[in-house]
Amino acid sequence: MGEARAVNRPCQYRKIPNWIGPKGCSIEEARFVPIEAEKLPEAISRWEKFIHEDSADRLIQLSILHAEFEALHPFLDGNGRLGRMIIPLFLYQTGIIQQPMFYISAYLEKNRDEYYERLLEVSRSNDWSGWCAFYLKVVQIQAEENLDKAQAILDLYNQMKIRFAELTRSLYAIYALDWAFERPIFKSSDLMRSGDIPRPTAQRILNLLKKQGILMELQPGRGSRAATLVYPALLNIAEGYDAF
């Protein structure tokens, strides 16, 4: 993205032009030039009113909101990230999801060229149908991926309930399992200080899980500093690849 030279003031609408194109390009070389800065407050006001309008199809409404926000490009930096953050917040506000956790950034990054081209076609040729069809496809694909991940996490939890119990032979096996699932990255001292498990038992369980490769040390302990542990199997499912 290009822009006229100015100090970036977070949380404030831009006061100068900005534009979208190859890094370092001039406004004359830009692929897209958003609305003039002086027109932003009124345009954002209309955009906000549209958020609160009733709609027969909330996903179509969201696709329009997303495109319009990116077209307005109201800030000097962070418009893409903020535009993607609006997605789960809107879905949560309208009751489509129960928690504001639905992120499509990964798919958009993998399909960046098509994403930008669809947005630009709205401005160039008013192709809202093409944009909405693309956006709905993104939402569907991401929802299916999220469902697969949720099922994989549930399957892992059910498998590990048995394994934790067999390995630890402890009444506190499920407490330790739930701890690892709620905090897949944690300090060993956190579990021992939680009060849910007696400290000697917690230490024994952690040692067993590390020995079996279920937990891994991300950062070894040193002196008074506790080790940082991770639960690789869970994190790899969440990330969608073998991160650990």
Residue-range domain boundaries for the chain: 2-103, 145-239
For the cut 70, the answer to whether the pLDDT of residue 6 exceeds it is: no
Mean pLDDT, rounded, for 92-105: 91
The confidence band for 3, taking pLDDT boundaries of 50, 70 and 90, is very low
pTM given for the model:
0.78
- The second-level CATH assignment, the architecture, of 145-239 is Orthogonal Bundle (1.10)
Rg from Cα positions in the chain? 24
What whole-number distance in Å separates Cα of residue 215 and Cα of residue 194?
18
What whole-number distance in Å separates Cα of residue 145 and Cα of residue 196?
34
Mean pLDDT, rounded, for 34-63: 93
Cα four-point dihedral sign 103, 105, 110, 113 = positive
The confidence band for 9, taking pLDDT boundaries of 50, 70 and 90, is low
- Whether residue 149 contacts residue 200, with contact meaning beta carbons closer than 8 Å, is answered with no
Give per-residue pLDDT as tens, 80-89: 889 999 999 9
**Residue 114 identity:** E
The confidence band for 8, taking pLDDT boundaries of 50, 70 and 90, is low
What's the pLDDT score for residue 4? 45
What whole-number distance in Å separates Cα of residue 104 and Cα of residue 112?
12
Give me the CATH code for the 2-103 domain, please.
1.10.3290.10
